């Protein structure tokens, strides 16, 4: 009998791993992913492995001596090795004039998606298949605004292909990237979706997925998959100080890819809707000055003469709240929504005007492929509490010219510059500095805390909200 304080031996069972395995997904999708090589019309312009990140890839030397064997390894990655570069490591030399990226088949008959910047200005394109074959491809169409391109491989099919995901992934979902980083084809990396709807200033319709899967130069144009093996995005850019992966990569979402690719396949180009307005975000100050409860929608800063919006009765200062019943989050959201509509269709825009909502139908037009009013150089009228020096606009221009801005003043902080022309204050057209003062005084008497200025500048027309100065 065991002593009372003794315990019977226990069998120790190792806990089962809860980490996912992507092996089954990789087996299904990897044959559909290819390396894309484009020979440029201008060899010097395309003398790099991939233009995806817009930065050169640089590896540190870690202070190793010149005769250390690892130095040769680093030289190859920097493209300092052979005269014509190394096809698997580093940048090809200028003589090659090629760029390398990734792509993937979306149909058995050879339609292939990649990035526009991978094949831009190319005279010859070929794809390196997962099974080792090299096949020529032709460019069906490109869309620089979303950085997408559609290719077609005519021979060697049928091809293994993958499908675009019908749903947008959630933040935190696992994703898998397959591509050709640094010319190393067939590379697989995994991570999660870090964020959605990212605007990185790459184009007018930015709506990127941000992922933390290791994506590097050469991954551009390659797919990011969900755990079902469906493409949720096309890798297009990385944020990196060195050109290497730091865990921040951006992919074009499948919804955008589907819309663009469908049009490229059917028409060879992409048509976008257009209404003829210049818009800007609704800030908290702008919302408060217009009586809106929160910052929402997009405010119309300018209406193009004779455009669809002008014909429908849209006015400068209107805030577009929704399109066809879908709420507009911000100016970027409105741009994407209008662009996605077909020419000839009628869209119902709900706007905020004069403190109330109203609906206006607008006929969408097809998008086809701002002047600054100069002020007379003369002493203006100072509005000291705002830091503005104003004068009547010259050269037969209407409005009130800004001839001086006091550094550090409220006007300077809001971006006013000499040469700007104030067109309206609190919704009222102004022609003289006295008109500006009168509009500010009226706003003060009405108890408003801020007032909207409609300003015409070199970058276009915009609204600026300024705090109403004390008497």
DSSP 183: G
Mean pLDDT estimate for the chain: 81
Say what the pLDDT of residue 105 is: 97
Say what the pLDDT of residue 471 is: 63
Can you identify the CATH homologous superfamily of domain 273-366? PDZ domain (2.30.42.10)
Residue 369 confidence class, pLDDT cut points 50, 70, 90: low
User: What residue has token string 């990569």?
Assistant: 249
pLDDT digits (tens, 9 = 90+) for 262-285: 999 998 888 889 898 888 888 888
Give exposure, 40-70, as e/b (b: 16+ Cβ within 10 Å): beeeeebbbbbbbbeeebeeeeeeeeeeeee
Residues with catalytic function: 117, 147, 220
Instruction: Count how many Cα atoms sit within 13 Å of the Cα of residue 249 in the half-sphere of its side chain.
Output: 35
**Strands 326-327 and 356-363, how do they pair?**
unpaired
Is the domain 23-152 a CATH 2.60.40.10 member? no
Q: Which of 266, 276, 212 is nearest to 238 (CA)?
A: 212
CATH of 174-267, one of 3.40.30.10, 2.40.10.10, 3.40.50.300, 3.90.550.10: 2.40.10.10
Say what the pLDDT of residue 7 is: 59
Of 349-358, 420-429, 443-452, the range with the lowest mean pLDDT is 443-452
Say what the pLDDT of residue 173 is: 95
Q: Which of 103, 136, 135 is nearest to 29 (CA)?
A: 103
Residue 10 confidence class, pLDDT cut points 50, 70, 90: low
CB 120 within 8 A of CB 139: no
Model-wide pTM > 0.85: no
Distance CA 139, CA 110 (A): 12
**Hey, what CATH topology would domain 381-467 get?**
Pdz3 Domain (2.30.42)
Q: Is the dihedral of CA 252, 258, 264, 270 positive or negative?
A: negative
Q: What angle do CA 341, 333, 163 make, to 5 degrees?
A: 65
CATH 2.30.42.10 maps onto the chain at: 273-366, 381-467
- What is the Cα 137 distance to its own chain's centre? 27
CB 7 within 8 A of CB 51: no
CATH 2.40.10.10 maps onto the chain at: 23-152, 174-267
């Amino acid at each position: 009998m065991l002593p009372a304080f003794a315990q019977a031996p226990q069998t120790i069972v190792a806990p089962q791993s809860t980490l996912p395995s992507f092996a089954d997904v990789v087996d299904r999708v990897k044959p559909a992913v290819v390396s894309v090589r484009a020979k440029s019309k201008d060899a010097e312009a395309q003398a790099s492995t991939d233009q995806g990140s817009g930065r050169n890839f640089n590896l540190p030397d870690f202070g190793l001596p010149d005769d250390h064997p690892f130095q040769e390894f680093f030289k190859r990655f920097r493209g300092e090795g052979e005269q014509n570069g190394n096809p698997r490591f580093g940048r090809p030399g200028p003589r090659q004039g090629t760029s390398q990226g990734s792509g993937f088949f979306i149909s058995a008959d050879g339609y292939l998606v990649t990035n526009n910047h991978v094949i831009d200005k190319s005279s010859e394109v070929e794809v390196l298949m997962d099974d080792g074959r090299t096949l020529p491809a032709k460019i069906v169409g490109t869309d620089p605004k979303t950085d997408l391109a559609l290719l077609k491989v005519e021979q060697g099919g049928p091809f293994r292909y993958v499908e675009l995901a019908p749903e947008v992934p959630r933040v935190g979902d696992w994703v898998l990237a397959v591509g050709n980083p640094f010319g190393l084809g067939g590379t697989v990396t995994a991570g999660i979706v870090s964020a959605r709807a990212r605007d990185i200033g790459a184009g007018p319709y930015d709506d990127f997925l941000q992922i933390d899967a290791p994506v590097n130069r050469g991954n551009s144009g390659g797919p990011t998959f969900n755990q079902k093996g469906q493409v949720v995005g096309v890798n297009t850019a990385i944020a990196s100080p060195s050109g290497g992966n730091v865990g921040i990569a951006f992919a074009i979402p499948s919804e955008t890819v589907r819309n663009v690719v469908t049009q490229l396949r059917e028409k060879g180009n992409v048509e976008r809707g257009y209404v003829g307005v210049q818009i800007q975000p609704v800030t908290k100050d702008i919302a408060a000055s217009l009586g809106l409860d929160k910052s929402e929608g997009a405010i119309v800063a300018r209406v193009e003469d004779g455009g669809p919006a002008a014909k429908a009765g849209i006015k400068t200062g209107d805030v577009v709240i929704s399109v066809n019943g879908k709420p507009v989050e911000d100016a970027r959201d409105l741009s994407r929504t209008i662009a996605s509509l077909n020419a000839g269709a009628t869209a119902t825009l709900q706007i905020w005007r004069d403190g109330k909502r109203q609906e206006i139908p607008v006929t969408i037009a097809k998008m086809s492929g701002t002047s600054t009013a100069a002020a007379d150089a003369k002493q203006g009228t100072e509005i000291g509490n705002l830091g503005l020096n104003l004068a009547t606009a010259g050269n037969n221009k209407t409005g009130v010219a800004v001839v001086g801005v006091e550094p550090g003043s409220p006007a300077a902080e809001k971006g006013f510059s000499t040469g700007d022309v104030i067109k309206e204050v609190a919704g009222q057209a102004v022609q003289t500095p006295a008109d500006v003062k009168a509009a500010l005084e009226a706003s003060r008497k009405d108890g408003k805390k801020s007032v909207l200025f409609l300003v015409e500048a070199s970058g276009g027309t915009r609204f600026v909200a300024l705090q109403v100065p004390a008497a």
